[in-house]
Amino acid sequence: MGMTMTQKILAAHAGLESVEAGQLIEANLDLVLANDITGPVAIHEVEKLNKKTVFDKDKIALVPDHFAPNKDIKSAEHCKCVREYAKEHNITNYFEVGQMGIEHALLPEKGLITAGEVCIGADSHTCTYGALGAFSTGVGSTDMGCGMITGQAWFKVPSAIQFVLTGKPSKWVSGKDVILHIIGMIGVDGALYKSMEFTGDGVANLSMDDRFSIANMAIEAGAKNGIFPVDEKTIAYMKEHSSKPYTIYEADADAKYDASYTIDLSTLEPTVAFPHLPENTKTVREAGEVKIDQVVIGSCTNGRMEDLRTAAEILKDRKVAEGVRVIVIPATQAIYMQAIEEGLVQTFIQSGAIVSTPTCGPCLGGYMGILAAGERAVSTTNRNFVGRMGHVDSEVYLASPAVAAASAVTGKISQPAELGL
């Protein structure tokens, strides 16, 4: 029986000819990741292991990004714990404030992950790297810590859902709208324990930044991973960012899928997920009058160069609506610098937005934009659970950078067309 793309990567990393859904395997890891929240728990756990040395100091990435730059004394202690562990074990890929960025934007940018590799990260959005044709998945701290020492992790081989993408999205429809549409269609557990495998002619019409956004939110449908085929765009991205070799895996023609959905990208509209689940999606046209207090443009989902360019195109020569607070967070230092060079930061500030150093901050209600009771935010982040960005009585509406920027101007959920764009 044929294998899915994910199954082929897992088989190769488990030293097996073939695997099938449901099989338990131990796979070799190419990259193991943690941040300042999950890292200290992992470090504390691995202290109990007999073996203390890491499996490969070059294949571990430690990125303080959630509550960094340190938001308070306790967070400072966590960052210190990660920093000291990285130093003690001579970890090559530790990124201090000044070099760091939001982990899932940073690692591909630094070329630490390429097609065909297997990565686990103690962060649920580790599935982002599926955009590059890698198998990557989120785990907890103990799994991460054990992976860091042994270089291996156990997996139950997932079955898959196939998403055949066709057509070309219209100007203001991005990868974020695609994934919100899909989650709205299949639900927040629609791909539970499974792979989401994207394929079809439409993939060529999605930029790498679009694909990162889509793979990033596979977890929001409960998936183990989301994965894209490797094409010219993927190869160009990897050549630009990485000196590591890569391996291209393709799903077999007779691979078995639990379900297959065809989505014509040209029919999609700007989409918003209403509180308090990413599956509560509506098109912006259906949204009605939803007044907002805050806009966040950033995160591992949408803090990349194209996201900022889109937002700036809309905010250029426009003003943020009175009473709305707009927080723009470039995901990495390189993106931040590029945004300065392109004049985007100036555009944001002139419009009345603020621009922050890279951090996960508000996405998880950490800091840098916490909501009060009754407040509403349109956010390009990935979760809108109860209390996610602050008070339990606040609300988060998930959207693309284009919708977020248009909403910033009007003060209510809007799309660029409402500004004559």
Partner 1 sequence: MKACGIVHKYGDNVDTDVIIPARYLNSSDPAELAKNCMEDIDPDFVKRVKKGDIIVANKNFGCGSSREHAPIAIKASGISCVIAETFARIFYRNAINIGLPIIECPEAAKEIEAGDTVEIDFDSGMIYDKTKKTEYKGQAFPPFMQKIIEAEGLINYINENK
CB of 310 to partner 1, least distance (A): 27
- Token pair 């090559």 is found at 92
Among 29, 30, 45, 268, binds partner 1 (CB under 8 A): 45
Stretch that binds partner 1, among 85-93, 218-226, 264-272, 300-308 (CB under 8 A): 218-226
First CA to last CA distance, the chain: 50
Closer by beta carbon to partner 1, 138 or else 401: 138
CB of 393 to partner 1, least distance (A): 10
Phi then psi for residue 231, to 5 deg, are -130, -165
Closer by beta carbon to partner 1, 133 or else 138: 138
217's tokens = 């939110």
Decide: is 48 part of the binding site for partner 1 (CB under 8 A): yes
Rounded CA gap, 25 and 153, in Å?
Answer: 8
Rounded CA gap, 65 and 330, in Å?
Answer: 12
CB of 317 to partner 1, least distance (A): 36
Is 322 buried (19+), middle (13-18) or exposed (0-12) by CB count in 10 A? Answer: exposed
Q: Residue 44: helix, strand or coil by DSSP?
A: helix
Residues 65-124 that bind partner 1 (CB under 8 A): 66-67, 71-72, 74-75, 78, 121-124
x/- map, 175-214, partner 1, by CB under 8 A: -------------xx--xx---------------------
Rounded CA gap, 342 and 208, in Å?
Answer: 20
x/- map, 361-400, partner 1, by CB under 8 A: ---xxx----------------x-xxxx---x--------
Residues 270-309 that bind partner 1 (CB under 8 A): 277
CB of 30 to partner 1, least distance (A): 19
Is 24 buried (19+), middle (13-18) or exposed (0-12) by CB count in 10 A? Answer: exposed
Rounded CA gap, 107 and 102, in Å?
Answer: 9
CB of 12 to partner 1, least distance (A): 21
Decide: is 340 part of the binding site for partner 1 (CB under 8 A): no
Stretch that binds partner 1, among 64-72, 86-94, 110-118, 247-255 (CB under 8 A): 64-72
CB of 276 to partner 1, least distance (A): 9
Q: Residue 240: helix, strand or coil by DSSP?
A: helix
Rounded CA gap, 79 and 60, in Å?
Answer: 16
Closer by beta carbon to partner 1, 222 or else 352: 222
44's tokens = 């504390």
Q: Which residues pair with 26 in a beta bridge?
A: 154
Rounded CA gap, 117 and 124, in Å?
Answer: 18
Decide: is 15 part of the binding site for partner 1 (CB under 8 A): no
Stretch that binds partner 1, among 135-143, 171-179, 234-242, 332-340 (CB under 8 A): 135-143
Rounded CA gap, 113 and 129, in Å?
Answer: 7
Cα torsion for 302, 77, 337, 305, to the nearest 10°? -10
Confirm if 369 and 296 have CB atoms less than 8 A apart. yes
CB of 115 to partner 1, least distance (A): 23
317 Cβ contact partners less than 8 Å away, ≥ 6 residues apart? none
Closer by beta carbon to partner 1, 64 or else 200: 64
Residues near partner 1, by CB under 8 A: 24, 37-38, 40-41, 44-46, 48-51, 66-67, 71-72, 74-75, 78, 121-124, 126, 138-143, 146, 149-150, 154, 188-189, 192-193, 219, 222, 224, 277, 364-366, 383, 385-388, 392
